[in-house]
Amino acid sequence: MWMPILLVCSSVYAESCMVVSRNWEFFKTSEACLEISVRKANILFRNPAVYHVKPLCQEIILDKDT
């Protein structure tokens, strides 16, 4: 399963960045995940307070014991 993640920054400084995700929204393929992540990033980037948005996806393995 794949989880969409966004890195959102309000300035050029790393301290202004935060990671945004939904831990209940998973996708079966990385392509589907990245499509959603890019779509959400484009929405955020329209906001003038947002300096940079990086769409990402993380593979989440749910069926293995830790």
Residue-wise pLDDT tens digits, 13-59: 999 999 999 888 899 999 999 999 999 999 999 999 999 999 999 99
* Domain boundaries defined on the chain: 2-59
d(CA 40, CA 13): 22
Q: Is the pTM of this model over 0.85?
A: no
Report the Cα–Cα distance between both ends of the chain, in Å, rounded: 16
15 residue type, one letter: E
Q: Can you read off the two tokens belonging to residue 33?
A: 């995940």
Q: Can you read off the two tokens belonging to residue 53?
A: 């948005």
Task: Order across the sheet with 2-9: list the strands.
Answer: 17-21, 2-9, 52-59
d(CA 57, CA 59): 7
